[in-house]
Structure 1
Amino acid sequence: MRIGLVGAGAAGVGLLDALAATEGRPDSIMVFDGSPAVWRGRPYQPDVEAVRVNAPPVIMSIRAADPTHYQRWLESHTDAAGYRDEALGQILVPRARYGEYLEDTARAAIDALRSADWQVSVVNSRVTGFTRRAEDGGALLHTEGGARVPVDRAVLAVGNGRPHDHYGLTGAPGYVNEPYPMARTLADIEPGAHVAVIGSGLTAVDSAATLAAKGHTGPISFVSRSGTLPSVQKRPARLELRHLTPAAVLAAATSGALTFDHLAGLMRAELAGLGQDFDTFAAEILATESEPPVDRLRRQLAEVESPHHGSRLLTMAIRVAGPLAWQLLPESDRSMLRDRHFRTINGLSSPMVPHNAKIILRLLDSGQLRLRPGVTEIEARPSGGFTIVDGRRWTADVVVNAVNPTAYTTPADTEPLINALLAAGAAELHPTGGLTVDRDTRATSIHGHPDPTWHVLGNLAADSMFIATNPPGLAAEANRLARILAA
C-alpha cells in the first residue's frame, strides 16, 4: 500500500513514529510539505530563547506509547539547568529545542521504517489537488511542482495554518501577521515603539516575553475583545484519573448517559476521592472571565503550589479524555461549551508557565504592559502607525497579530487541495466547521459514507475539539490512525 502524508508538522511526526512501531508488511510512504520548517510546524522553528515550551516535558511526548520519550531525549541532548522554572520544578526549554526533538524523532522513524523495508521519501512541495484513479479508487496527488503521485491512502495532517488578518492590515508598514519565528518578525522593532499585540493568549505572552528579553522600553498593549489571560500552571503532582477516564466516557456514551452534566459528575467524583471540594473548584472556573485579569494572575501565581487539585485534574482530563468525550457529547452540549466557554476552556487547557506569568505580571505592574479589552476597530494610518478603537481612539506604532487560527480552519496553503476534495465528492464540510470524518476510521465522510482514500489527522476533523490539539493528543490520534492504516 502506498501512503501519502500531506503535512510534516508535529502530527506528521507522530504518525511516522507510530507507523515505525506497527507490525505488518512493508509499504511505501511519501511525505509532502512545502514549508521551510519541515517537522517543526509554526511554533517550533529556530527562534529566540525567550519563546519557551509552555508545558513540562512529561506531557510533551509525541510517542503515544511512551510518555517519557521527550523527557529522555531532553535529558540526553540538553544542558538544561538554565531553563528550570523553579515554581514548576520543571525544565522548560526554548520552543526551538522542542523542534529539534520533533526533527530527531522524524528522522529516527524514517530510519526505522527503511530498515523494515519501507520506501520512505520526503517531497518539499505542497499538494495542490488530486484526481481519483478510476481503475482502483486510489488517488493521484498533484503537487505544485507539477508531479502526479499515485497513492492508495492519503492523510491530511496540515495543522491550523497561519493567523487570519481580521482587520485587513496586511501590507501596512509595521504590521506583523505571523509572529513566528519571533527572532525574525520582532527583531527590527524600535525599542521605544508602542507595540499593540492583538490577542491575550499564549502567543501574545510569547510576544511580550520576547520584547522584554530584547530590552524593549516602549509600551506594549494586549488588544482583545475580553482581555482574558491564560491560566497559570500549577506545580505538577502525582495524580491519576480514576473516574473521568476514556473508558468511563465510552461506557456512558454507550448507555446513552453521556452529557456535560455527567462529565461534571465524574469530575466531582475525582475530587471527592481526594477528599477535596468540587464547589470551590467550580467557583474558580466560573470566575475566569469575571475576575479582574491582573488580580487573577497575581492570585494564581501565589497558588502555584496549591494543594487543591481541581485545575490539575481538569487539565489532565482535557488532554486524556477530552478528545473522545467531545466526539460523543450531544451537539447541544458541544455548542454550549464552544459558544459560551471557549476562552475559559482554552485558557485552562493551554495555561502559561509561571516563568512567563512572572514576566507578564512584572510588565503589568510597571505599567509597560496594558490590557485593552473591547477592541472594535484597528486601521492603518496613511502617515504611518495604526489607530485602535476600544471605546477610546488611540495609536500604536506596530501591530502584532497573536490571534491563532481557530480549530477547523483550513490553512491557506491547503485550500486548493480541500477545494479539489470537495469538488470530487471525496470530502464534505461539516456545518460547525472542518471536514466530516468517520469516527471509527478517521476517513473523510460524505453523507455518512467513508471515503476509501482520505483520512484526517488533527484539528481539521470536525469532531476534534475546538481548541488546538496538544502533542500528546496528536500522538494518541496518530497512534490510532497508524493501526487503521496498518490493518
Structure 2
Amino acid sequence: MLKLAVVGGGPSAVCVVDAVARHLTHDTPVEITVFEPGPNLWQGQAFQSDGDEVLANVPMVAMSARTWDRRDGVNWMLEQGLDEFAADDVFPPRWLVGRYFQYAAGRTVAALPATGSALRVQPQTVRALVMGENRLWARGDDWSAGPFDHAVLCPGGPPPSDPYRLTGAAGYIHVPYPLSRSLAEVPAQAKVGIVGSGLTAVDIVMALHARDHQGPIALVSRNGLLPAVRGPLKQHDPLHLTVPRLEAIAAEKGELDLTDVIALARAELGDAGADTAVIAEDVAEAAPVVQRLRDELDRAVRDRDPGWTMLRDTLVACGQDAWYLLRDEDKVRVRARHQTLMRLCCPMPPVNAARLLELFETGQLGLCPEVQSIKPISGRGFHIQAARDVIVDVVIAASTPAKRQLAPAAAPQVTALVSQGLAVPHPFGGVRVDRTTSRLISRRGVAHKRLHALGDITHGAYLFTFGLPVLAARADCIARDITATTQHVQRAGEPAERDQHAPTLPS
C-alpha cells in the first residue's frame, strides 16, 4: 500500500486528496494521512464559519475542487437547494463555500474504502519531514509518524503582517478572521483604522457595515489602492496567451521576457474585441481612487468591455507558467508593481464595490494613504501619521507584504528540508519547485520524486499561489506525477518496505 502524507488540511488538501483518489487508487491502494492541527479542517482560514456578508470573490463556478469538473461546486449548491448561490453572477457567502469543501473531502473519504484505500486525519503540527532509507517521516515536538512514500506540503498562508509592531496593544486586532468573532467587541461608535486596502480590508468594511457600525472607518495603507471590480464571467478559448505558446517562445529564445507576454496578451485582447486603452488606463491609475471605483463599478455592471475579465481568466490557466518562465530581471520589474497587479488581478464582487462607494459618498469611509507610522496613544487609541493624520480607537490588520513570509507552521518544515538538502529557498520567497510536477527542487538541482508543494509555500516560484482553479489544476498534476512515479517503481520491482525507525535531522 502506498502511503501519502498531506501536510495541511485546508482547501488545497481537499484538491490533493480528491485528485489522488481519482488517479491512483484504481491501481494502487493508498493510505492518506492529513496533518491538520487547526479547528478549520478542509475549510482553512479563509472559508471558515463567518457572517453571510463575507463573500467569496468569485462565483461558485470558479470554486470547484476538481479541475476536471468545473461545475462540481455548482452542482453541490443545486443539490442542497441553494440555487440562488449557483448562478454565474452571484458571489456566495464564503462559509458556504467552506461547507462545499467539507462535502468534497467527505465524499473522497467515503469512496476510498471501496478501492482498499483509506484517509485519516492527524490533528498534530508537523515540525519537520525527514528522509531516511528512501522514505519520509513526519515529526512533531514529541512524536513521529511514518514512513511515507510521498508527501505534499500545503500548509496555507501566514496571518496579516504587523509592520507597525502593534501586537499586544489594547484595541489592536491582528487576526481578523472570523470577523463575526473579532469584531464582536468593537463599539458601534468606535473610530476604526484598517491597515491595508485590499480584499481583506474590504471584507472587514463589509462586516462592520453588516453590524450597523456607526463610527468612521479609515483604510490605512501606503498606496491607497482598492481592488478592481470584477466583471461578468466570459467564455473565451485563448489562442495566443497559452502555456504551449509560452513554452515555445522560451525554448526558441532560451528565455521568456515581459515583452513576449505583453505581445501575446495584446493579440488575445484583440481577438476578444477588447479595448487595450482601457487596460492601459487602469494600469496607469491616473483617476482619483473613488472616481476609479465608480467607473469600474459602472463598467462591470454594464458589461462594457471584456478586456480585464478575459485577461484574468486566461491568466488563471497560464499565469503560473508565464511567471515561472519569465527571466528574473522582468520578475523584479513586475514585483515593483506588486500592489497594482494584485489590485487588478484580484478584484472584488460588484456588490461589495457598490457598498464601498456608498460608504465613501456618505463620508463614513475614508482613505488614509501614504501612511508613515501607527503608534499607540497612552491610555487607549492610535495615532496614524499619513497624508492626513488620523486618531482611531481600534486598528485591524489586513495587509500583506509584497514579499510574503512563510506561514508560522511552514517555516520549521522548510528549515528542516533545507538542512537536509531536500529543498532550496526561492530568492523571491517560499521554495523552488519544478514547474510541471510541483516537486521540490533539492540542493543538487534535482526535482525530488517524493516531495511536492502546493499553495502559499510556492509563492516565489509562482506569482499567484491561490484561487481554486489554480490549486485544483496543480493538485491534479501532483496526483498524476505520484501515479506515474508509483507505476515506475512497481515496474522496476523496488524491494518491499522494511521496518524502519525515524531518522534524526542533520545537526
**Which TM-score bucket, shorter chain as reference?**
over 0.9
Q: C-alpha deviations, 1:98-119, integer Å up to 9, x for none? A: 0001111111112222321113
User: 1 CA distance for matches of 2:165 and 2:459?
Assistant: 27
Q: Tell me how large the CA RMSD over aligned residues is.
A: 1.9
Give yes or no for the alignment of 1:69 onto 2:58.
Answer: no
2:494 corresponding residue in structure 1: none
Q: C-alpha deviations, 1:328-361, integer Å up to 9, x for none? A: 111111111112x212221122101110001100
1:101 corresponding residue in structure 2: 100
Correspondent of 1:334 among 309, 325, 331: 331
2:419 corresponding residue in structure 1: 423
2:20 corresponding residue in structure 1: 19
1:217 corresponding residue in structure 2: 214
Question: 1:218: Cα distance to partner?
Answer: 0.1
Letter in 2 for 1:57: M
Correspondent of 1:373 among 369, 374, 380: 369
Question: 1:401: Cα distance to partner?
Answer: 0.3
Letter in 2 for 1:5: V
3-state SS of 2:66 partner:
coil
2:32 corresponding residue in structure 1: 29
Correspondent of 1:457 among 447, 454, 458: 454
Give yes or no for the alignment of 1:239 onto 2:240.
Answer: no
Q: Trace 1:99-248 onto structure 2 (pairs within 5 A).
A: 99-133=98-132, 136-144=133-141, 146-248=143-245
Please give the TM-score of this superposition, normalised by the length of structure 1: 0.94
3-state SS of 2:329 partner:
helix
Which structure 2 segments of 5+ residues have no match? Answer: 485-507
Which 10-residue stretch deviates more, 71-80 or 297-306? 71-80
2:259 corresponding residue in structure 1: 261
Give yes or no for the alignment of 1:250 onto 2:247.
Answer: yes
User: 1 CA distance for matches of 2:242 and 2:448?
Assistant: 31
Q: C-alpha deviations, 1:175-206, integer Å up to 9, x for none? A: 11111100100111100000100000011001
Give yes or no for the alignment of 1:444 onto 2:440.
Answer: yes
Please give the TM-score of this superposition, normalised by the length of structure 2: 0.90
User: 2 CA distance for matches of 1:105 and 1:79?
Assistant: 16
User: 1 CA distance for matches of 2:124 and 2:467?
Assistant: 26
Q: C-alpha deviations, 1:131-172, integer Å up to 9, x for none? A: 332xx2212211345233321211110121211222111111
Letter in 2 for 1:263: V
Which 10-residue stretch deviates more, 65-74 or 364-373? 65-74
The count of aligned residue pairs is 478
Give yes or no for the alignment of 1:469 onto 2:466.
Answer: yes
8 Å Cα contact 1:137-1:452 kept in structure 2 = no
Which structure 1 segments of 5+ residues have no match? Answer: none
- Alpha-carbon distance change, 138 to 99 in structure 1, aligned in 2, over 3 angstroms: same
1:7 corresponding residue in structure 2: 8
Q: C-alpha deviations, 1:244-296, integer Å up to 9, x for none? A: 12222222222226322122212222232234443x134223223x3211000
8 Å Cα contact 2:154-2:454 kept in structure 1 = yes
8 Å Cα contact 1:231-1:352 kept in structure 2 = yes
Q: Trace 1:234-313 onto structure 2 (pairs within 5 A).
A: 234-256=231-253, 258-278=256-276, 280-288=277-285, 290-304=286-300, 305-313=302-310
Q: C-alpha deviations, 1:204-223, integer Å up to 9, x for none? A: 00100100011000000000
8 Å Cα contact 1:45-1:181 kept in structure 2 = yes
Question: 1:228: Cα distance to partner?
Answer: 0.5
User: 1 CA distance for matches of 2:404 and 2:398?
Assistant: 18
User: 2 CA distance for matches of 1:431 and 1:106?
Assistant: 34
8 Å Cα contact 2:241-2:318 kept in structure 1 = yes
2:319 corresponding residue in structure 1: 322
Letter in 2 for 1:353: P
User: 2 CA distance for matches of 1:385 and 1:179?
Assistant: 18
Question: 1:90: Cα distance to partner?
Answer: 1.7
2:498 corresponding residue in structure 1: none
User: 2 CA distance for matches of 1:426 and 1:150?
Assistant: 16
Letter in 2 for 1:264: I
